[in-house]
Chain A
Amino acid sequence: METLLVHLALLAYAAGAAAFLTWLVRPDPRWAGAGRGLLFAGLVLHVASFASNIGVAGLGLGADSWKGGQLFSLLAALIVAGYLFLDRRGLAPIAGVVVAPLTLAVMVPAHLVATSEHAVVQPLWTSGALFVHVAAATLGTAVLALAFGLSALYLASERQAKSRRPGRLFARLTSLESIDRAGYRLAVWGFIFLSVAIGTGSLVSKAATGAVLPIAPKEGFALLAWALLAAMIQARLVAGWRGRRIAILVVVGFVLVAFVYVGLLSASPSLRGALALAIGVWP
């Protein structure tokens, strides 16, 4: 049942992405409406698949193994939920053109690429810090993914405006300024979640391995991303940076966070426990 629901959710996301891309070519508002509707339907199915599995595996605390794909699935759902939330607050449908395919890019590997099962160390099975760590890390990544999408959109549109040959992307935009503002705000939220994730992560690490800050690529990328985002916020607030420079920093920041996940999937079993929460909600 859970697998069927996830299959249907994936199909709805794919159809939503297709609708948004069609809207880019043929700007009938009904296409954008269909895109939103399909993403919402996909999210409902996705959440239903999580809910049906929670009944079996609880909230994840106490789980003794996990799969990498589960995390990506949860991320995809959070990205869509975040987009739909922002959409209701006036984000233009053009963001859907970037976010819907991005969701697919996150969801497809989760769903179609087989990932191996990893064990969770026993001391972490009931850790509260682990719960906060996983929640903050997942939310932070989802928010940064949205910021990444908007920043990429900004860079592409700004390029068109600078070239003085505005194309379809620029034509569908509400304004460059609104995309810049929304991308920056999301990046700030991503930074806040990332800070919490790093703080609680060190507690989890101490419980699992005895080291507060283990020297490993994963932690290195997380700290680098954190420092970059901190510098970006500083530059915006103090020096007034905006537009292209901020968008590039957000894109690089998200790429560094993505490397954290690559590191995570190949990390030692002890720290994989940090993702135990995600396990419980995957079929």
Chain B
Amino acid sequence: MTTICVGVSHRQAPTALRERLAVPAALLPDRLRQLRELPGVREAMILSTCNRLEIFASADSREIAGDIQRTLDPAAAPLAACRFDEDALRHLFRITASLESMVLGEAQILGQVKEAAAQARQAGTLGPELQRLVERASTAAKRVRTETEIARGAVSLSSVAADLARKLLGDLADRAVLLIGAGEMAQLAARELRAQGVKELLVANRGLARAEELAREVDGLAVSLADLPALLVRADVVICSTGAEEYLVTRELVDQAVKARRYRPLFLVDLSLPRNVEPSANELENVYLYDLDDLERVAAQNRGQRQSQVGRAEEIVEEELRALLAQAHERHAVPVLARLRAHAEAVACAEAEKTIAALRGLDERQQRSVRAMANAIVNKLLHAPTARLRAEAGSGPLADAATALFGFDEAQGAIGGRHDRETLASHG
């Protein structure tokens, strides 16, 4: 059994090609079933996001990767990367931990991987192998998020502004935001703040008609720019993004507003070029002014911070990967151990019965003693081999040696469970 990953991501394919590769949710069950029907494929899962298409499969041999690759768009197939076994597992772990994401540390990918597994389960193509992989990959991703700073700090300008507002003002539920101008980034920031639950979103523009149009777009309330002094008292966050050549929000205006606000903090975000808020307003008490450069600096700082966590995140991924592989090896070792024990117990049992029959006249207690002695000998003899086989986790020479020494491979072909033990017992 081998694990295969065939995938194309933003690293190999341009957006136009990735668009063609993306599998719509409605078509996913059919695609999964097609994969499952390929000869030798036992399990399959498709992860389709705007940045990648990755097909994970549990199959009988590596050659099947070629068949999977041929199911892709002909333009994408040559670009697809094929990974096998440990490499494939590592790739899934890295994807889930957002180490392969376009924006390092982004939060959505973990949910997307879980969703891909849920859809495969629904389509009946997710089996125990891939299920275990996804569970362990999720564990690794959660550890990466909690034990490192890879997901900390906003990295887009609009989310940096929203993040700063929360840090400065606390709960935004009772806060009002004033949006001055129609800049795209200002709208993004306003939407982000709205999503965080701000009570009131005021939209001001030179023309009231444009303000009303904007207000509808961002679910806000249109106000007149002529009321700016009063609006600065009412709003706790002011996002400025106009094409004005002069300062719209002057230091004097802010100074008056701060006093009227009774020193409640005011967060000014100036996304305009040239700037619309007089820079010296930042010197006023309880006023925090950030312009484009400041936001970009914070975003770059956060990106750098995330990047610096990659090493630790990779260590966690490797730890979890090693643990998964060790578990897999141990699961592999269990059949050998089971057969060994069943064989030894069958021999001991047969010899004990033979002895009881030969001695004749033993009462029940004496018979029990003879059987217990035979069992005790088996346990003592098998203690060290069992421990060593477990430690070796079934992947090394000891498991093969035990199989060859006791003739398990001749006794039955496949790795067995109850059937194997029964067969061995009958041999004994």
Contact = CB atoms under 8 A, between A and B. Distances in A.
B209 to A, nearest CB: 35
A123 interface: no
Interface string A173-188: 1111110000000000
Contacts of B147: 28, 30
A240 interface: yes
A243 B265 contact: yes
Contacts of B164: 161, 166
Nearest to B147: A28
Given A29-B146, A166-B298, A175 B166 contact: yes
Contact of A162 (B146, B152, B167, B282): B282
B285 A244 contact: yes
B146 A28 contact: yes
A165 B264 CA distance: 22
A175 B152 contact: no
Given A28-B146, A29-B146, A243-B286, A164 B263 contact: no
Nearest to A239: B262
Given A164-B294, A242-B286, A243-B286, A175 B168 contact: yes
A75 B301 CA distance: 40
Nearest to A242: B263
A241 interface: yes
B146 A240 contact: no
Contacts of A241: 263
Q: How large is the interface on B (under 10, 10 to 19, 20 to 34, 35 or more residues)?
A: 20 to 34
B428 to A, nearest CB: 51
A174 B170 contact: yes
Interface string A11-55: 000000000000000111110000000000000000000000000
Contacts of B148: 28
Given A27-B149, A28-B147, A166-B298, A175 B167 contact: yes
A243 B286 CA distance: 7
Interface string B147-177: 1110011000000000010111111000000
Interface string B274-297: 000000001001101010001001
B167 A176 contact: yes
Contacts of B297: 164-165
Given A28-B147, A161-B288, A164-B294, A240 B169 contact: no
Interface in A154-170: 161-162, 164-166, 170
Contacts of A26: 149
20 contacts: A26-B149, A27-B149, A28-B148, A161-B167, A161-B168, A161-B288, A162-B282, A164-B282, A164-B297, A165-B298, A166-B164, A166-B298, A171-B152, A177-B168, A178-B170, A241-B263, A243-B263, A243-B265, A244-B285, A244-B286
Contacts of A28: 146-148
Interface residues of A, number: 25
A245 interface: yes
Contacts of A30: 147
B170 A175 contact: yes
For the complex of A and B, the 8 pairs showing the least CB-CB separation, nearest first, are: A240-B262, A175-B170, A177-B170, A164-B294, A243-B286, A28-B147, A178-B170, A242-B263
A166 B167 CA distance: 10
A166 to B, nearest CB: 6
Contacts of B153: 171
Contacts of B149: 26-27
Contacts of A171: 152-153
B169 A162 contact: no
B285 A177 contact: no
Contacts of A173: 167
A240 B107 CA distance: 40
Given A27-B152, A171-B152, A176-B265, A243 B167 contact: no
A175 B169 contact: yes
Contacts of B264: 240, 242
A30 B142 CA distance: 14
A178 B265 CA distance: 12
Nearest to B282: A162
B208 to A, nearest CB: 33
Contacts of A29: 146
Contact of B290 (A164, A239, A242, A244): A164
Contacts of A178: 170
A39 B34 CA distance: 59
A171 B306 CA distance: 13
Contacts of A175: 166-171
Interface string B246-266: 000000000000000111110
A175 B172 CA distance: 11
Given A176-B168, A242-B265, 4 more contacts: A30-B147, A161-B167, A162-B288, A241-B263
A245 B258 CA distance: 14
A164 B166 CA distance: 15
Interface string A226-246: 000000000000011111110
Contacts of B152: 27, 171
Nearest to A243: B286
Contacts of A27: 149, 152
A81 B285 CA distance: 34
Interface in B116-151: 146-149
A29 B143 CA distance: 11
A178 B146 CA distance: 24
Contacts of B282: 162, 164
Nearest to B290: A164
B168 A245 contact: no
A28 B147 CA distance: 5
B293 to A, nearest CB: 9
Nearest to A173: B167
Contacts of B301: 165-166
